[in-house]
Amino acid sequence: MNSARPMNTTLFAADALLPAGWQKNVLLQWNAAGRLTQVQPDSRPDASMQTAEGPLIPGMPNLHSHAFQRAFAGLTEYRGQAQDSFWSWRTLMYRFAQRITPEQFEAIATWLYIEMLEAGYTAVCEFHYVHHDADGRPYADDATLALCLLRAAQNTGIGLTLLPVLYQSSGFGATAATDGQRRFIRSTDNMLRLLERLKPVCDAQGARLGLAPHSLRAVPPEGLQEAVAGFTAMDSEAPVHIHIAEQTAEVEACLAWSGQRPVEWLLNHADVNARWCLVHATHMNETEYARAASSGAVAGICPSTEANLGDGIFDLPRWLSHGGAWGVGSDSHATVNAAEELLLLEYGQRLSLRQRNVLATRQQPQVATAMTLQALQGGAQAAGRDIAGLAVGQQADFVVLDAQHLALAGLHAPEMLSAHVFASHRTSAVHGVWVAGKQYVQAGRHPLHDAAARCFVAARSAIISES
């Protein structure tokens, strides 16, 4: 299946957001491999050239996704016990995860990736941990569910970083995994074999293969050390993602186990560097902020999920004061919208600091512009792919906003992006979306939108009706 339009290799935009900021009359040109070969401001369109319908912005990488959870969004927004929490949500999520078939898994991911493309994401890092069948037995082909994700990315056009997850224990101190975790569990050797099996498949479709030790709760020290070492021997630059310090109970349990906080423990026991993405590093002390930021690791912030699960607020100004890189993920997909994640992230900072325009910088006073450029850099680094924006050599991944959309009409380009992020509107201003130089979204819609939506609803209905 190929859902892209015929190849056009140039586009002219009256306004485009380049790494150094907004530029006028930008000519973009890319090669057959979808890499930018020219990004030329102050150029003139010739009559034959396709022209963007509004401001052109780089496509946003989504650095953290558990695709199957999209079908679970909205299903736990009721009180189930005296005090619901991350942990009570997790119990329900496990129950949901136990029932999904490979066909349903692929249908959910396919629809989700279409939603992402239509919402301004051009790449996704899939933190993939449902490996086995409903009874916890490996599929005849152990890569079955990973291949569903690869096909979903291929069929929709979104760029993929596939992060198979190592999951071995239910808590600190290598406590045995629970029955609810039976679909997730693998030995370290088995994990390395899966990575070897997936590497050529990823390479063939331009996906990046990484590794995700789930968390310090789920991976004992030996597994962490051996898996990272084994994978590094296979690819010394590939991304490594981990959930860390998301909940205060997790910090306390880590202290009780090791005398160290999770981020502190990780920095003391692993070679954390620019390959790493620390997902939900929400609870750090000052020393951890300083050390983790200067390791070069990306902070993976998932504003809508972190709000939905009651995690806490990441101190982004403090992280930035130490030179930290960051990006956004949609994680449980309570929200699937790149602009809304930026909105929620800035609003969390405003609410906690009682200030406005917290994430503006001296060079870039426009908050939405500053955040887009920073999240793009961090997201591209976490994805381990050349998707860091509109510069020669990077992949031609970009989004054109509709300058005629009511929220944007009559504004200058930087304000159009501000309105897109902050002047929330019932309909999106995302108009066209290109990945590797191919257009996958036209007039706000992906060609597979209707068919994929139907399959998603059927899959979700079937899963729910089993309960």
Q: Which is nearer to ligand NGQ, 36 or 125 (CB)?
A: 125
Q: Which candidate in 280, 405, 420, 431 is catalytic? A: 280
Please tell me the distance from the alpha carbon of residue 329 to that of residue 163, in angstroms, as a whole number. Answer: 14
Q: Which does 246 bind (CB under 5 to 8 A by kind): ligand NGQ, Zn ion, none?
A: ligand NGQ
β-partners of residue 11 are 28
Site string for Zn ion, 328-347 (x = CB under 5 A): ---x----------------
Q: Which does 338 bind (CB under 5 to 8 A by kind): ligand NGQ, Zn ion, none?
A: none
Asked if 422 and 408 count as a contact pair (C-beta separation under 8 A), the reply is no
The tokens 């999920």 sit on which residue? 305
Parallel/antiparallel/unpaired status of strands 56-58 and 398-401: antiparallel
Query: Binding to Zn ion (CB under 5 A): which residues in 435-454?
Result: none
Please tell me the distance from the alpha carbon of residue 323 to that of residue 317, in angstroms, as a whole number. Answer: 10
Query: Binding to Zn ion (CB under 5 A): which residues in 133-172?
Result: none
Q: Which is nearer to ligand NGQ, 282 or 395 (CB)?
A: 282
Q: How far is the CB of 143 from Zn ion (least distance, A)?
A: 21
List of E strands, 31-178: 36-40, 56-58, 60-65, 121-128, 159-166, 169-171, 175-176
Is 331 a catalytic site residue? yes
Q: Which residue is nearest to ligand NGQ (CB)?
A: 66
Q: Which is nearer to ligand NGQ, 246 or 341 (CB)?
A: 246
SS3 for 334-355 is: CCCCHHHHHHHHHHHHHHHHCC
Please tell me the distance from the alpha carbon of residue 127 to that of residue 247, in angstroms, as a whole number. Answer: 19
Q: How many residues bind Zn ion (CB under 5 A)?
A: 1
Q: How far is the CB of 319 from ligand NGQ (least distance, A)?
A: 19
Q: Which is nearer to Zn ion, 115 or 331 (CB)?
A: 331
Q: How far is the CB of 124 from ligand NGQ (least distance, A)?
A: 15
Asked if 118 and 449 count as a contact pair (C-beta separation under 8 A), the reply is yes
Q: How far is the CB of 401 from ligand NGQ (least distance, A)?
A: 30
Q: Which is nearer to Zn ion, 153 or 277 (CB)?
A: 277
Q: Which is nearer to ligand NGQ, 29 or 65 (CB)?
A: 65
Q: Using CB under 6 A as the criterion, which residues of the chain lie in contact with ligand NGQ when the complex forms?
A: 66, 90, 215, 243, 246, 305, 309, 331-332
Checking phi first, is residue 372 left (phi over 0); if not, alpha (psi -120 to 50) or beta? alpha
Asked if 254 and 172 count as a contact pair (C-beta separation under 8 A), the reply is yes
In a 13 Å sphere around the CA of 29, the CA atoms on its Cβ side amount to: 8
Say which amino acid occupies 93.
M
Q: How far is the CB of 175 from ligand NGQ (least distance, A)?
A: 13
Q: Which residues, at least 6 apart from 103, have a Cβ–Cβ distance to it below 8 Å?
A: 459
Q: Which candidate in 15, 311, 331, 402 is catalytic? A: 331
**Other CB atoms closer than 10 Å to residue 423's CB: what's the count?**
15
The tokens 């709000």 sit on which residue? 307
Site string for Zn ion, 287-326 (x = CB under 5 A): ----------------------------------------
Q: How far is the CB of 127 from Zn ion (least distance, A)?
A: 5
List of E strands, 265-340: 276-279, 298-301, 325-328
* Site residues (vs Zn ion, CB under 5 A): 331
List the catalytic residues: 280, 331
